[in-house]
Amino acid sequence: MMIFAPRFYVLPGLIAAAAIAGTAIWLYKSRKTPEQIERERRLRISEIGRITTGTVIDVSELESGKQGELQLLIFRYDVSGVSYEASQDVTHLRHLVDLHTCRIGLPASVRYDPANPGNSIVVAETWTGLRQ
């Protein structure tokens, strides 16, 4: 007759719990911040995106509780007969964009993802479609 003693399961259980905890910590630390995700999106579109003509229709500065002030660039463009209206958060690109001197109503170049034309930018770290 075989007796199952709980003491034989303690060590494998502790090892499994440590492995799960270690994996959870590693996943949490390697998670990207929203700023990193947005930067990667901008760089990807600036590399693979197609260019079309659009129009800056508004600029806006919004107060955000914990993040401070958000700066938005609102623009419109057409792709294959479909009109799109989008906004881009340019808060982290303040060194490239001065919203106070940005001219509303003037044409701008817009880069968009050919696979998803609604995914677009006007400004990135390596490219700008704003005209002076």
- The domain made up of 34-128 has a fold known as OB fold (Dihydrolipoamide Acetyltransferase, E2P) (2.40.50)
pLDDT band at residue 6 using 50, 70 and 90 as cut-offs = low
Would you say 117 and 48 are in contact if contact means Cβ atoms under 8 Å apart? no
Specify the 3-state DSSP secondary structure of 47: helix
pTM over the 0.75 mark: no
Query: 3-state class of 63 per DSSP?
Result: strand
Nearest to 48 by CA among 58, 40, 38, 56: 40
Is the pLDDT at 11 greater than 80? The verdict is no
pLDDT of 75 strictly over 90: yes
Contacts (Cβ under 8 Å, ≥6 apart) of 110 = 51, 52, 53, 54, 75, 77, 120, 121, 122, 129
**Domain residue spans of the chain:** 34-128
Q: Are strands 127-128 and 123-124 parallel, antiparallel or unpaired?
A: antiparallel
pLDDT above 70 for 30: yes
Give 2's pLDDT tier (boundaries 50, 70, 90). Answer: low
- pLDDT score, position 99: 73
- Condensed to tens digits (0 to 9), the pLDDT of residues 32-61 reads 888 899 999 999 999 999 999 999 999 888
Mean pLDDT across the chain: 86
Residue type, 30: S
So what's the pLDDT on residue 96?
81
